[in-house]
Amino acid sequence: MATVHHWTGLEAKALRLALRLSVRAFAQQLGLAVATVSKWESKLADTEPRPDTQAILDTALGRADASVHLERRSFATARKLWPDVEILCASEPLEFDDYLKSIGDEKLVLDMLVGDLQRVIEYPKLGFAIEQEVPEDVHAAYESLIRDGFTSRLISS
Domain ranges of the chain: 9-63, 68-147
pLDDT value at residue 97? 77
Residue 119: phi, psi to the nearest 5?
-70, -35
128-152 mean pLDDT: 90
- Mean confidence (pLDDT) of the chain: 83
Categorize the per-residue pLDDT at 66 as very low, low, confident or very high, splitting at 50, 70 and 90: low
pLDDT value at residue 131? 92
Q: At a CB cut-off of 8 Å and minimum separation 6, what does 31 contact?
A: 56
Q: CA 70, CA 107: separation in Å to the nearest integer?
A: 17
Categorize the per-residue pLDDT at 68 as very low, low, confident or very high, splitting at 50, 70 and 90: low
Least confident residue range of 32-41, 50-59, 146-155: 50-59
Report the greatest alpha carbon distance in the chain. Answer: 48
pLDDT value at residue 87? 78
% of the chain residues with pLDDT over 70 = 86
Torsion of CA 58, 61, 139, 112, to 10 degrees: 120
Among the CATH numbers 3.50.4, 1.10.3470, 1.10.260, 3.30.1490, which is that of 9-63? 1.10.260
32-48 mean pLDDT: 92
Categorize the per-residue pLDDT at 1 as very low, low, confident or very high, splitting at 50, 70 and 90: very low
